[in-house]
Homo-oligomer: A and B are copies of this chain.
Amino acid sequence: MVGKAEASRVRSRAASMLKRAGIALTVGEREAIEVADFGLSDLSHTGLELVVYVNTDRYCAKELVLFPGQTCPEHWHPPVGGKPGKMETFRCRWGIVYLYVPGKPAKKPKATPPRGREKAYTVWHEIVLKPGSQYTIPPNTLHWFQAGPKGAVVSEFSSTSHDESDYFQDRDIRRIPVIK
């Protein structure tokens, strides 16, 4: 897990990107940005920075920040508590995101999995999200995504979020705890 000092630097960088994307945060939100290193301690390749606006028993909304080339690794959302798995809509606000889901694989994918972890990336149908474009991931569907060369800011609208229940293709990954 990355240390507190690095987490603090990462949080500042994410806050700057949100500001550049025109997204206003409160001071408290800026200080509480979640840093998810997925237990790999390699944030420049695998990681995600999150602001959770609201997560009720009915819906959830977050802002996701990805640094240039940063990857949210392949995972899926299984059923939780008798309800279908999480359904989520990614809406790109700033930058570019390459999103991968099951389907016809891209011949020349624009994203490259983090080195040494290629085996944990199995779906290759490519969706390119630019500002204003969005895509909805059904429950139980494998997906992963990587930011383009300038990074990205993405709004996530979804059903209730249970991050601790997510399944990752890479068995070395631990989604929880996040660095706070």
Binding site for B on A (CB under 8 A): 21-26, 29, 53-54, 56, 58-61, 87, 89, 91-94, 131-134, 136, 155, 157-159
Q: Is the CB of B22 within 8 A of A58?
A: no
Q: Is the CB of B136 within 8 A of A54?
A: yes
Q: A22-B22, A25-B132, A132-B24 are in contact. Are A89 and B58 (CB under 8 A)?
A: no
Q: Is the CB of A91 within 8 A of B26?
A: no
Which listed residue (B23, B56, B91) contacts A22, Cβ 8 A? B23
Q: Which residue of B lies closest to A87 (CB)?
A: B58
Q: Is the CB of B60 within 8 A of A133?
A: no
Which listed residue (B23, B92, B155, B159) contacts A59, Cβ 8 A? B159
